[in-house]
Structure 1
Amino acid sequence: MPNHHLFTSPNYPLPPITKQHSPTMGSIPASGSSDPCKMLRVDGSRIVNAAGETVILKGAGVGGCLNMENFITGYAGHEHEHRAQMAEVLGEARSQFFFDRLIHHFFSDDDAAYFASLGLNCIRIPINHRHFMDDMNPSTIRPEGFKLVDRIVDVCAKHNLYTILDLHTVPGGQNQDWHSDSGLSRAMFWEFKDLQDRAIQLWEALAEHYKGNPYVAGYNPLNEPADPYKATNGHHGARLVAWYERCERAIRAIDPDHILFVDGNTYAMDFRAFPEKTLPNTVYAIHDYSMLGFPISEQYEGTDAQNKALRQQLDRKVEYMRSKNVPVWNGEFGPVYASAQNAGSEMEAAAINAKRIGLLRAQLKNYAADSISWSIWLYKDIGYQGMVYVDPSSPYMKLIQPFVDKKQALGLDFWGVVNKEGVKHLYEPFVNGLRETVPEPFRNKKYPKIWNFDRHVERVVRECLMSEYAGWELAELFRGKTEEELEELAASFAFKNCKGREQLNETLRLDAAGKL
């Protein structure tokens, strides 16, 4: 069981951060806009500011900071398990020190300045509810959570960047994945009203704290909900729709002004259970990943058939919004990138990445054609998908890289696995045997049905059970580290110690300037 108080900071005195920039990243130009952000609202199918001017939000999610994920920072499994394992190995005080420092370095003034220099204008802040709520003391909202979010909101405001507050995890988990940090492959949030009530309580507290703040573009109440309960029309999402209506009323009673950014059901892809009447001052959000940008599928070659499929995928997801004349926000999308290590050579990695950038450009052109706001996933990580990534020669990567390699070879992180050939001999006979015990008509009964039988099994066996075991191996790498050593490891995530994925960032800069 998780040690629930491990998200609480003991308020260590924090060493000063020097403001110097790596030759890799270069010096940071002035922010892209000198105009201060103004409160946004919905006007028909547009997002507009106080003057009625259309605003297209273009940005990135800073996942891995206030909601950690295994492929972003390198651990295995779920964040609360990772924290508990680190606390057992390091002791609670030094473990908390390390996580506090990692969060501090992960997104700073330097990061916001660089981001703004690209002409982008919005940062999505994924938030783990445990920063605000203790499962053993559920009625109390922790003030430490506001301090963490305030720091990012304020540093973004300094550079005239909007922020969107994204509740990425809720008690019990709103979806079946690792990034809801439930530790399960079942979304228990939909099965207990008291868990749903707690999420409403948190949003009431956030609304009270951020009401009137023009630098907050709005609130993203749930990331990628996946509610299996069917509405009267036979489509999944009945309890999600009811919860959204409750959440909207609760927020509006406190903060009538901020926009809501509402994800569709089944990982922000399905609006078929949504009602005829839309919520007021609300943007509806899709996530638009294309499998053409991942190593487990056919690769993007720019063919007419592929471009048509990309367009059709987008059209299907935004059909509800078009029919209701409301704005669209693409809250997550983006390919992943190869390295010489996993592609075999620098030349092969470059060839793969050229195709991934080609896919990104095609998607951005589709969004521009429809005036869709977007937030790419991801701003920073250890080298798989981020605009900025930790230097492979940094102390942190030198320490954990062998573990990351082993974790990938074992196929433990769905998002970070390049291929599964290394464990095929273990899992293929096992899964085949299990599949044969389930009669064929019932193999596709389990929700979400977009996953086949094999995928459901590997989520439970690899990404929950085996990843939790592997997490102890990572924690042992930190045993005996002093605070000075832990600070050095955490500082590997500081902007000055990171590298930029220049081809990706240049593509985003061109799009922001309308030159793509």
Structure 2
Amino acid sequence: MSAGFLTTAGTKIVDAEGTPVVLKGAALGGHLNMENFITGYPGHETEHKLVLEKKIGKEKFDYFFEKFYEYFWTEKDAEFYRNKLGFNCLRIPFNYRHFIDDNGDLFKIKGKGFELLDRIVDICSQYGIYTILDLHTTPGGQNQGWHSDSAIHKSLFWDFKVFQDSIVNLWVELAKHYKDNVWVAGYNPLNEPAVSDSEKLVDFYKRLHDEVRPIDPNHIFFLDGNTYAMDFRKFPSPESYIPNTVYSIHDYSTYGFPNLEGALYTGSEEEKSKLKSQYNRKIEYQSEYKVPVWNGEFGPVYASKERGDKNPEVINRARFNVLKDQLEVYRKGDPSGDGSPISWSIWLYKDIGFQGLTYVSPKSKWYEVFGEWLLKKKKLGLDKWGNDIDPGYNQLYQNLVDHMEANVPEKYHKVLYPHTWTMEKYLARVSRDMLFSQYAQHEYADLFVGFSLEELDELAASFKFENLDQREELNQILKEY
């Protein structure tokens, strides 16, 4: 059991005795920060909830989510997580809206957020599981993606100081609350920030440190790099910046995701070399300054007959091989070059069958109600994550992409930030992730209408551990790290 706070020493995370600790685990995505592909709704969390409450009324809405939050993480999950998987750390993504009411005072903190977060942290501590608190959303959005629960394609968080002030204030309150909790490994202040002027991010982290450290001098900061946790080029040297810090990357590989060509990873030397070079590029900062790295997100997505995929066994064999080869890189990936392993948190622990270590059973009430809808949503390409759009529908968007590319001079094709995004990606963000999904939310919410409280309880209970299936081969691979 923990006898003190974790801290950093060189490239390692260490315990109170100075012994290196490798944090190994997953993220509880889809829970206190909901994402569309994880539970099935289209679009963005807050819009989804607003539409659903109007459709079924406040009493049923509140009841459903009370049960959903209760069932999504229980002691049975923690027991499995610690004793069967051998994991020692859980990353907890949470939405700022659990603590801050956008319609009121941005600096008034709601106690309900602490109740929800405390429940998870407390269960984890009982089972010897560290937690990392991950603020996954901010007012205005800290990035351009749907997962920051901002239904636009701009990161307005960086344009309005009041938004930044409110989040600094929130982290101050979080620090006051958790400063003495040794089972909280540390704070992940912003998930995947993305701002064209990196200095804004660097300055924000420094300001956050300066206001939080006098309250909480002990907890580690897990700082994501810019442009979706991939870029530290503008960060100053650690000695002049923020002490007791782990620098976090996210290391997804395109080999682990579907593509319209249906190409699969073969494990060739060229492919393995690309996995390694991608990782090495992302940890250049950590290697240069000999500071710790934490891979806060990675992992393939998986096929299934419930999703309408052909040959899911063949596809998943290739995806498991991607994961194995990534883990081989991480097994000796310490920035010091000493051949020791890095800490990581795979994305993710639980979902409806796309990426989770555990997942909602196809025989559940959830699939009984939403199964046909999920197939329709997949064909329409409404989920950005692991997008698997029907080729016929995709042609409609490709025609528009071709039109735009033909009429915008090539030198401006990547003028918008993030510059790694293609016109095709921007078009998908605006047309499908945002606009189309806004319409689709109403059709999805209709499927909840008419259910009794008992039936809503059964729906939420689809996410209870005892009702889930387990992705056995994936879990075995992770256990062997």
Aligned to 2:214: 253
Deviation at 1:342, TM superposition (A): 4.4
Change (3 A) 1:38 1:365: farther
> What is the alpha-carbon root mean square deviation over aligned residues?
1.2
Structure 1 residue 41: Cα displacement: 0.3
Match of residue 212 from structure 1: 180
Shift of 1:365: 1.5
1:301 aligns with 2:269: no
Query: How far apart in 1 are the matches of 2:298 and 2:49?
Result: 28
Contact 1:286/1:328 (8 A) holds in 2: yes
Note if contact 2:303-2:309 (Cα within 8 Å) is conserved in structure 1.
Answer: no
SS at match of 2:416: coil
2:417 is aligned with 1:451: no
* Distance in 1 separating the partners of 2:461 and 2:3: 30
Residue 88 (1) aligns with residue 54 (2): yes
1:477 aligns with 447
The letter of the residue matching 1:63 is G
The answer (yes or no) to whether the contact 1:112–1:159 under 8 Å persists in 2 is yes
Asked if 2 retains the 8 angstrom alpha-carbon contact of 1:413 and 1:463, the reply is yes
SS in 1 for 2:480: helix
Which structure 2 residues correspond to residues 69-468 of structure 1 after superposition, within 5 A? Answer: 69-117=35-83, 118-137=85-104, 138-229=106-197, 237-276=198-237, 277-296=240-259, 298-342=263-307, 344-345=309-310, 348-370=311-333, 371-468=341-438
Question: Does the Cα contact within 8 Å between 2:348 and 2:356 map onto a contact in 1?
Answer: yes
Name the residue aligned to 1:504. Answer: 474
Q: Is the 8 A contact 1:63 1:379 kept in 2?
A: yes
> Mind listing any 5+ residue stretches in structure 2 that lack a counterpart?
334-340
User: Shift of the alpha carbon at 1:413?
Assistant: 0.7
* Deviation (angstroms), 1:312: 0.4
1:77 and 1:416 map into 2 onto residues whose CA distance is 14
What residue in structure 2 maps to residue 13 of structure 1?
Answer: none
How far apart, CA to CA, are the structure 2 residues paired with 1:200 and 1:278? 17
1:37–1:496: structure 2 CA closer, same or farther, 3 Å change rule? Answer: farther
> Match of 1:165, SS?
strand
Partner Cα separation in structure 2 for residue 326 and residue 82 of structure 1 = 40
Q: Which amino acid aligns with 2:246?
A: V
Q: Can you list the C-alpha shifts for 1:21-77, whole angstroms capped at 9, x where unaligned?
A: xxxxxxxxxxxxxx3464100111110000111000000000000000000000000
- Using the alignment, how far apart are the partners of 2:329 and 2:410 within structure 1? 39
1:495 to 465, 468, 474: 465
Amino acid at match of 2:374: V
Q: Would the alpha carbon gap of residues 355 and 425 (structure 1) be closer, same or farther in structure 2, given more than 3 Å must change? A: closer
1:25 aligns with: none
Give the alignment's TM-score, normalised by structure 2.
0.95
Q: Secondary structure at the match of 1:133?
A: coil
Q: Match of 2:86, as an amino acid?
A: G
Q: How far apart are 1:239 and its partner, in Å?
A: 0.5
Query: In structure 1, how many angstroms separate the alpha carbons of the residues matched to 2:309 and 2:236?
Result: 50
Amino acid at match of 1:292: Y
> Equivalents in 1 of 2:278, 2:92: separation in Å?
26
**Amino acid aligned to 1:340:** K
- Residue 103 of structure 1: CA displacement? 1.3
Taking structure 1 as reference, are residues 476 and 416 closer, same or farther at Cα in structure 2, changes over 3 Å only? farther
- How far apart are 1:440 and its partner, in Å? 1.8
- Provide the secondary structure at the position in 1 that maps to 2:213: helix
Corresponding residue of 1:22: none
Displacement, 1:436? Answer: 2.8
The answer to whether the Cα contact below 8 Å between 1:329 and 1:374 also exists between their aligned partners in 2 is: yes
CA contact (8 A) 1:222 1:263 kept: yes
Q: Structure 1 stretch 92-101 or stretch 368-377: which is displaced more?
A: 92-101
Q: Distance in 2 between matches of 1:362 and 1:252?
A: 38
Equivalents in 2 of 1:38, 1:305: separation in Å? 44
CA distance in 2, matches of 1:125, 1:306: 32
Residue 363 of structure 1 deviates from its aligned partner by 1.0
Give me the TM-score of the superposition, normalised by structure 1: 0.89
Q: Distance in 1 between the 2:112 and 2:308 partners?
A: 42
SS of corresponding position for 2:405: helix
Contact 1:409 1:422 in 2 (8 A): no
**2-side partners of 1:216 and 1:383: how far apart?**
29
- Tell me the amino acid that sits aligned with residue 384 of structure 1: F
Distance 1:292 1:407, change over 3 A: same
Q: How many residues align structurally?
A: 468
8 Å CA contact retained: 2:380, 2:389:
no
Give the distance between the partners of 1:402 and 1:223, measured in 2 at CA: 32
Comparing 261-270 with 451-460, greater Cα deviation is found at 451-460
Larger deviation: 429-438 or 382-391? 429-438
Gaps of 5+ in 1: 1-34, 230-236, 512-516
Q: What SS does the aligned partner of 1:166 have?
A: strand
Q: Is the 8 A contact 2:25 2:88 kept in 1?
A: yes
The alpha carbon displacement at 1:457 in A equals 1.1
CA distance in 2, matches of 1:501, 1:424: 30
Query: Residue 139 of structure 1: SS of its match in structure 2?
Result: coil
Deviations 1:381-411 (A, max 9, x none): 0000000000011011110111111111111
Q: 2:406, 2:441 → 1: CA distance?
A: 31
Q: Identify which range, 441-450 or 382-391, moves more after superposition.
A: 441-450
Task: Write out per-residue CA displacement over residues 200-259 of structure 1, whole angstroms, 9 at most, x where no aligned residue.
Answer: 011001000000101000000000000112xxxxxxx11011100001111102100000
1:47-62 pair list within 5 angstroms: 47-62=13-28
Q: Which amino acid aligns with 1:141?
A: I
Query: 1:135, CA displacement in angstroms?
Result: 1.1
Q: How far off its partner does 1:431 sit? A: 2.5
Identity %: 49
Residues 75 and 82, structure 1, Cα contact 8 Å, conserved in 2 = yes
SS of structure 1 residue aligned to 2:231: coil
Residue 298 of structure 1: how far off its partner (Å): 4.0
- Paired residue for 2:337? none
Cα deviation code 1:71-122 (max 9, x no counterpart): 0000000000110010010012211211121111111111111000211100
* Alignment partner, residue 11 of structure 1: none
SS at match of 2:469: strand
Alignment partners' CA distance in 1, 2:402 and 2:268: 35
Alpha-carbon deviation of 1:148?
A: 0.2
